[in-house]
Amino acid sequence: MGTTMGKPATKNKIRTKVKPVNITKRLRALAMNLRWTWDADTQRLFASLEPALWESTGRNPLAVISQLPQHRIDQLAEDKAFIARLSAREKDLAVYLRTKSWFARSHTARQKRMKVAYFCAEFALHESLPIYSGGLGVLAGDHLKSASDIGAPLVAVGLLYRHGYYRQEINPDGSTLAVYPKYDFSQLAVTDTGKTFSLRMGSNKVKVKVWRADVGRVGLYLLDTDIPANRPADRKVTAHLYGGNDETRIRQEVLLGVGGVKALKAVGEKFTVLHLNEGHAAFAPMKLVCDRVDKKHNPDDAINEVASHTVFTTHTPVPAGHDRFTPSLARKYLKPLLKGSKLKLADVMELGSEDPGTPGSPGNKKAMLCMTALALRLSRRANGVAKLHGEVSREMWQSLFDVKKTSDVPIGHVTNGIHWQTWLSPEAQPFYKKYIKPKVNGAGAFDDPWKNVDKVPAAEMWALRITLRRRLVRFARQRLVEQAVRHGGDAQAIIDAENMLHDDVLTIGFARRFATYKRAPLIFRNAKRLIKILNDSKRPVQLIFAGKAHPADKDGQAFLQQIVKHSKKPGFRGKVAVIENYDMQVGRMLTSGADIWLNNPLRPMEASGTSGMKPPLHGGVNLSVLDGWWPEGYNKRNGFAIGDGREFTSRTKQDNYDADCLYTLLEKTILPMFYTRTRAGLPTRWLKVMANSMKTVPGAFNTNRMVGEYTQKYYLPAHEG
């Protein structure tokens, strides 16, 4: 050191070459953990790469990165501000992953040895990963995100569909065109684990590839048969979600259940609790039973052992929503599973019978293998997804249990929730940071920051509503223009689309799966009365619809077509909008922007429903039949109930009664409250309902609470067995 001090500085100082920042590699690494799907700052970072490309790729960061021109990559590498933002998002993810969670803080060493394997046929994590169709997938995706947030030790299993569900295009006559894109898995946030295994499906041996998606702290393993080693028919097993016939369905459910257990073994994931999210995965505990039926276990002991560690969640009171397979299909696909075990096909059929011991032909549903019945008998802990749904489920499945009273049926309930960070509009974030101040990293399962709503100035709450409604109207107009262009509309049609809706009008939203029991067209039952309501010069109303029916559900498709045709009639034109290709983005826009969320299912057919839990995050208000979760959430001050819960035996009488109640509420209560303003322009009475909605719904109906409840009431007891 002393030999160099005092030397004069040289003019030609040697500069070390700075290693260029590998922007692409860092961005891809950030995108591969799906935590960005509930972190708005990271989404903004990805959007800034190329805003137009971000939108055209369906907000898929991996697709954006792969299409960035080299000059843009070079530009970003030299942009110090961008590099700083990227570093901040990388650091935030690292901090999130290492923060001590609620589960780690509040449970014993013995409890921490618990590991839950969560099986579901679909997961809605983001629109850029299209392996979902509707509410079941949304619930499953939100479940994983909250498990990550609160640290519940969980691993998940699903299927990776090459063509997803379907993209919906609405033809000019209102009919639905189902489009099936072929997805490039290299541009989805999934990683090839390098693991494969063989699975017997009937007489064929099928090779299965295992992919992994990282959802914060949670690993989601996705099974894929679309690989060259398989026969064309076997490659199609993972082609479409809920596609094909009964044979396709049982093949998918063998893959999910039996294959899912084998996949977890292949990747080295051990679990102490099995959670079946709907009956599609009922072959998973069947596989575990077969593995245990050996010289040391008789069938009854094996069933009891597996069932003691299994949790089953049923999601529908609709009879058609429960999969049933004929004895011939069951024999074909269960024979390989039963080979070498002491179980016989008759034993499995008995476990899956809705009325055991009753003879019948293969066409008789009592002789069918019912996946819900099988799941109930192979689990010791079962639940519905709302209090009312628990009651309906106990009545629905009482015949499976040796009990005289419905109340003794061992089916409880855990009411669904939503992952609030996923569904919170970015425009609402400044409002939340200023007034609600929720904890994100290290959040507790039962935190309720929404109690702070009482401190929010009314003017600020109303300003948020105006902002979000305007955002929804802009979005709807943009989508409607795109639809008009695709249909070959003339200049006037495009101009009409650009001027649809108004940003200062009471806006009612309806977006969900178009199952017929949800009665999407109910509000049009008395067209003349509705036209008068919509076109009131002093108190106008507008409606925005979105939703999909299953491609094979012709009645559901017809409901959508009815609404499209109404939207083009005088009196409705310009007041009723139908947005095509319902997905998570459309859902986020409508639930955040609508003033009123309309829900009018045929009671008690709605098991829970979660769409109505999202508007209250933004000051939106529910207008709903007392079905699903709403009987638990409604307090007479935080929204509106359509009817009083009465149920008619006549569908016509029920529809007439509910529609009349809906119109009367709008005319006599809602519109006067919404449009009566102070000199400052504030609807004081309406704001009280808004505030009560925000204060009472999100704190109770979120998936942090839901997963915490599963952990305490179901997972830990099942872990102990």
pLDDT of 235 above 50: yes
491 plus 464 within the same structural domain: yes
Q: Percent of the chain at pLDDT above 90?
A: 91
Q: Is residue 360 part of a domain?
A: yes
Residue range(s) defining the domain that contains residue 93: 23-98
Q: Is residue 362 part of a domain?
A: yes
| H or E, element range at 139 | helix 135-150
Q: Is residue 423 part of a domain?
A: no
pLDDT of 616 above 60: yes
pLDDT of 639 above 50: yes
Q: Is residue 143 part of a domain?
A: yes
208 plus 137 within the same structural domain: yes
Instruction: Please give the average per-residue pLDDT across 161-182, as a whole number.
Output: 93
135 plus 74 within the same structural domain: no
pLDDT the model gives residue 17: 41
Read off the pLDDT band of 318 (50, 70, 90). Answer: confident
CA 490 to chain centre: 37
62 plus 116 within the same structural domain: no
pLDDT of 445 above 60: yes
341 plus 490 within the same structural domain: no
Identify the CATH number of the domain in which residue 356 sits: 3.40.50.2000
The mean of the pLDDT values for the chain is 94
446-466 pLDDT, tens per residue? Answer: 999 999 999 999 999 999 999
pLDDT the model gives residue 68: 96
651 burial (CB, 10 Å; 0-12 / 13-18 / 19+) is exposed
258-281 pLDDT, tens per residue? Answer: 999 999 999 999 999 999 999 999
pLDDT the model gives residue 358: 57
pLDDT the model gives residue 365: 55
pLDDT of 41 above 60: yes
pLDDT the model gives residue 295: 59
125 plus 37 within the same structural domain: no
Q: Do residues 542 and 535 make contact, with C-beta atoms less than 8 angstroms apart?
A: no
Instruction: Please give the average per-residue pLDDT across 644-654, as a whole number.
Output: 95
Read off the pLDDT band of 4 (50, 70, 90). Answer: very low
283-300 pLDDT, tens per residue? Answer: 999 999 999 987 567 899
pLDDT the model gives residue 3: 38
Q: Is residue 615 part of a domain?
A: yes
**Closest among 618, 620, 670, 608 to 641, alpha carbons compared:** 670
204 plus 344 within the same structural domain: yes
Instruction: Please give the average per-residue pLDDT across 4-33, as a whole number.
Output: 65
Q: Is residue 12 part of a domain?
A: no
Instruction: Please give the average per-residue pLDDT across 615-620, as a whole number.
Output: 98
Q: How many domains does the chain have?
A: 3
Strands 167-170 and 176-179: antiparallel
Q: Is residue 5 part of a domain?
A: no
pLDDT of 15 above 50: no
pLDDT of 357 above 70: no
Return the HEC string of 160-200. Answer: CCCCCCCEEEECCCCCEEEECCCCCHHHCCCEEEEEEEEEE
665 plus 622 within the same structural domain: yes
Read off the pLDDT band of 700 (50, 70, 90). Answer: very high
296-306 pLDDT, tens per residue? Answer: 678 999 999 99
pLDDT of 8 above 60: no
Read off the pLDDT band of 14 (50, 70, 90). Answer: very low
Q: Which residues pair with 689 in a beta bridge?
A: none
Q: Is residue 309 part of a domain?
A: yes
Q: Collect all residues with Cβ–Cβ distance below 8 Å to 380 and sequence separation of at least 6.
A: 307, 308, 310, 410, 718
162 plus 296 within the same structural domain: yes
Q: Do residues 377 and 666 make contact, with C-beta atoms less than 8 angstroms apart?
A: no
pLDDT the model gives residue 341: 84
Q: Percent of the chain at pLDDT above 70?
A: 95
Q: Collect all residues with Cβ–Cβ distance below 8 Å to 67 and sequence separation of at least 6.
A: 50, 53, 57
371 plus 493 within the same structural domain: no
pLDDT of 709 above 80: yes
Cα 416 from Cα 609, distance rounded (Å): 8
Instruction: Please give the average per-residue pLDDT across 576-605, as a whole number.
Output: 96
pLDDT the model gives residue 221: 98
Instruction: Please give the average per-residue pLDDT across 203-227, as a whole number.
Output: 97
Read off the pLDDT band of 366 (50, 70, 90). Answer: low
648 plus 693 within the same structural domain: yes
Among 68, 98, 128, where does a domain finish? Answer: 98
66 plus 112 within the same structural domain: no
Lowest-pLDDT range of 178-192, 352-366, 392-406, 599-613 = 352-366
93-126 pLDDT, tens per residue? Answer: 999 999 999 999 999 999 999 999 999 999 999 9
pLDDT the model gives residue 364: 56
